[in-house]
Amino acid sequence: MENLKEIVSRVLEVKDVENISREKTEEWDSFNHLMLVSEIEKNLGIKFTIEEVEKIKNYENLKNIVSKK
């Protein structure tokens, strides 16, 4: 089973995920953001709220949101 880092890397097609953000990372556009959320939900068996989906801004804060699930 893929971990969070592997899912992010696969969906956004980036190798180094630690320092990526929606603002700085070109690949993390609005479309890929939705694909990323759906892939994380499917692969990790968790569910996000709409507010959480909007709150995700970078990998660090994504990791924090996921760790609380």
Partner 1 sequence: MKNFSEIKVGDKTEFEVQIDESIHKNFSSISGDKSPIHLDDDFSSKTKFGKKIGYAFLLTSFLSRLYGEYLPGGSSICVKQESNFIKPFFIGDTIKIKAEVFNKIESTKFVEIKSEMYRNQEECIFKGKGIVQVLFEKNE
DSSP code string of 15-68:
S--TT-BTTT-TT--HHHHHHHHHHHHHHHT----HHHHHH--BHHHHHHHHHT
Q: Give min distance, CB of 59 to partner 1, in A.
A: 18
* Closer by beta carbon to partner 1, 21 or else 41: 41
Q: Give min distance, CB of 58 to partner 1, in A.
A: 18
**What are the residues binding partner 1 (CB under 8 A)?**
31, 34-35, 37-38, 41-42, 47-50, 52-53
Q: Give min distance, CB of 16 to partner 1, in A.
A: 25
How far is residue 13's CA from residue 29's CA, in Å, rounded to a whole number?
12
